Structure 1
Amino acid sequence: MTKIVKDSDNEQERDYIFQDNKKTVFGASFIVVILVILVLAVIATAFYLDWF
């Protein structure tokens, strides 16, 4: 079964999606923040254009 996060101490794991390091944490955090900003922008636009 594919694991989500690779343990940095175990070099034998091959089936993983993300590594447990600073680049991955920064990248995932950055993407989540951008997605939240986009969702808030869509909601703000909907209220501004009286869609609700």
Structure 2
Amino acid sequence: MADTVIKLRLNQQQLELMDRTIAQGVAPDRASLVRLALREYAAARKADATAEAAR
């Protein structure tokens, strides 16, 4: 799979939330946390699409 570059603009509150989440051990750094969030979002969308197709 080819790498895709994305650019996020986060406000201070969002950055602080990310940093607290990282401090809890969910991910080692901000980039890893964003990758995790994107994977989880994609998986949820795929599950929704599959459920919708089954109707």
TM-score (norm 2): 0.50
Name the structure where strand makes up a greater proportion of residues.
Answer: 1
Aligned residue pairs total 31
For structure 1, the 5+ residue unaligned runs are: 1-6, 8-17, 48-52
Runs of 4+, deviation exceeding 2 Å: none
TM-score (norm 1): 0.53
RMSD: 1.7
Q: Which has the higher contact order (CA 8 A, sep 6+)?
A: 1
For structure 2, the 5+ residue unaligned runs are: 1-22
Q: Percent identity?
A: 6
